[in-house]
Amino acid sequence: MDASTYRLAADAILLLHCLFVAFVLLGLAYVYLGAWLGWRGARRRGFRYAHLACVALVVVQAWLGVVCPLTTWEMALRERAGDATYSGAFIAHWLQAVLYYRAPAWVFTLVYSVFGALVLLSFRLLPPRPARDRRLDDAG
């Protein structure tokens, strides 16, 4: 493969990573806002457990000091393309690059842990519900 193919693959992984981060962050907002506005989808079990699994993955990686595999994969592809790479965590890098904010790793671990606790709290305050049977909706 040539450098442009590696670069394109790295960009695709970066996009996937951004979508993952958006799902994690916006997912919790969707749950609380959806409960307030009466959106049924915000309390669906599948969505809630998928969101919880993603948040748990982030928290566990932070506690173990593991760099996200998507970051590792993206950096390997960028290196093969001959591009500049960065070390460390995805969020830490992009916060520093976009907002000029630097913090030690423990700060991110704390933030991820608090966020994870808020997700768990959402399960207590707004328990997931099974998706309604569409046949019942059509019959009624």
Q: What is the pLDDT of residues 27-59, one digit of tens each?
A: 999 999 999 999 989 999 999 999 999 999 999
Segments forming the whole domain that contains residue 97: 3-139
Q: How far is CA 74 from CA 18, 21, 85, 120, in A?
A: 12, 15, 9, 30
Task: Output the DSSP codes for 40-61.
Answer: GGGGBHHHHHHHHHHHHHHHHH
Mean pLDDT of 16-28: 93
pLDDT of residue 91: 67
| Entry pTM | 0.80
Count structural domains, the chain. Answer: 1
